[in-house]
Amino acid sequence: MSTETSSVSGSVEHNAVAPLVEVEHLTTTFKVRDAAGGSAGRLTAVDDISFAVRAGETLGLVGESGSGKSTTGRSILQLDRPASGSVRFDGVELTGLGHRELVEMRRRMQMVFQDPFTSLNPRMTIGSIVGDSLLAHGMSSKSERADRVGDLLAMVGLNPAWHVRYPHELSGGQRQRVGIARAIAVQPDFIVADEPVSALDVSVQAQTINLFESLQDELGLAYLFIAHDLAVVRHLSDRVAVMYLGKIVEIADNDDLYGSPAHPYTHSLMSAVPIPDPTIERNRERIVLTGDVPSPLNPPSGCRFRTRCWKADDRCAAEAPPLVAVSIGHHVACHYPEA
Ligand code: ADP
Ligand code: MG
């Protein structure tokens, strides 16, 4: 999409186009309290991460619960304010912007939330949930809004006549479609989809993922698509980033990540993904991680994954591995990456 608009000279290469979203050295911390309500210090939820999302692209973001995925998405949208680092959207630095300046930028960046039961106001009709974002972004005519809401409901595969219904009258999958209609209503360029199918039945997950894909084709959207397992993002993503305890440990094109995962943590996540072929499934090695994810309040020294890694040695405790290229576009943060 921006490829066209920026190709004024007609000769701009795709990879010469600046990314839509550029995240550099992003760090987001939270104040935490102990049981008595006193300060227990600061927790680093996202620790010095960098990546980019191009216009029209899907970057999958995976990792266990607590790894900092939601905070990453929320920090891009400035819903959580970063402690340091940079977030540029279409060339505009967002971290220093005030509330009012963010309103216009937010039209272009929307969010779809994990839980379609709590993310919709139960007292509002579907029509007003979707229409309110249009009103907030300047569509003051009621009849124009009603028309547009009808179009949007149809676009997400819901009956336009349902604009009078309330969220509790809909199934989980239908509610998530309302959340998607609300997000695309204001014609954004970028959507953070935060585990949008995790709360849905398996049978509904695939349909919802297909909807995200067809809307992307139709509208040229870019997604940061968050999931806790690799199976969900495989089909949808152009590239995938893997997070562990606030760090990106691996990022690569889809084929490279699934075909030759380099970080032991990615390997362990991959071994949890079922393979449809029963013979391969029966014979393959399964990696089961031992121990819990350490607390981000007190992360391990050096490599954060070392306390659960079968390859870890003294070097891993002493030195944090930087994220380095193992091939073009494939970066991994490990002293002993898989071949
Ligand atoms: P994920 O989405 O990968 O499950 P989150 O980004 O939600 O991870 O959380 C990362 C870490 O930050 C967790 O340890 C979580 O408890 C903590 N955290 C997230 N939001 C807040 C907050 N508002 N206040 C305090 N701690 C938070
Ligand atoms: Mg989350």
Q: Say whether pLDDT at 282 is over 80.
A: no
Residue pair 88/53 in contact by the 8 Å Cβ criterion: no
Q: pLDDT value at position 313?
A: 96
C-alpha 303 – ligand 2 centre gap (Å) = 22
Q: Say whether pLDDT at 287 is over 90.
A: no
- Residue 45: nearest ligand to its CA? 1
Residue pair 143/196 in contact by the 8 Å Cβ criterion: no
C-alpha 46 – ligand 1 centre gap (Å) = 9
Determine the length of the chain: 339
Query: What does the pLDDT look like over 14-49, one tens digit per residue?
Result: 445 679 999 999 999 999 988 888 887 899 999 999
Protein residues near ligand 2, an ion, with CB under 5 A: 70
CA dist., res. 130 & res. 321, Å (int): 45
Residue pair 63/228 in contact by the 8 Å Cβ criterion: yes
As beta bridge partners, residue 190 has: 109, 222
* Contacts for 109 with CB less than 8 Å, ≥ 6 apart: 76, 77, 89, 188, 189, 190, 191, 192
Measured CA angle at 47 (ends 45, 51), to 5 deg: 115
Query: What does the pLDDT look like over 185-220, one tens digit per residue?
Result: 999 999 999 999 999 998 899 999 999 999 999 999
**Conformational region of residue 80, where left means phi above 0, alpha means psi within -120 to 50, and beta covers everything else:** beta
Query: What does the pLDDT look like over 302-331, one tens digit per residue?
Result: 999 999 999 999 999 999 999 999 999 999
Cβ–ligand 1 distance for 71 under 6 Å, the answer yes
Average pLDDT of every residue of the chain: 90
Cβ–ligand 1 distance for 258 under 6 Å, the answer no
> Pocket of ligand 1, candidates 39, 65, 71, 242: which has the most ligand atoms within 8 Å of its Cβ, to mutate?
71
Residue pair 24/82 in contact by the 8 Å Cβ criterion: no
Cβ–ligand 1 distance for 69 under 6 Å, the answer yes
Residue 275 banded pLDDT, cuts 50, 70, 90? low
C-alpha 138 – ligand 1 centre gap (Å) = 33
pTM here is 0.91
C-alpha 228 – ligand 2 centre gap (Å) = 8
C-alpha 127 – ligand 1 centre gap (Å) = 32
C-alpha 67 – ligand 1 centre gap (Å) = 8
**Residue located nearest, by CA, to atom 10 of ligand 1:** 68
Q: pLDDT value at position 337?
A: 96
Cβ–ligand 1 distance for 32 under 6 Å, the answer yes
Residue 280 banded pLDDT, cuts 50, 70, 90? low
Residue 61 banded pLDDT, cuts 50, 70, 90? very high
- Residue 63: nearest ligand to its CA? 1
CA dist., res. 296 & res. 299, Å (int): 5
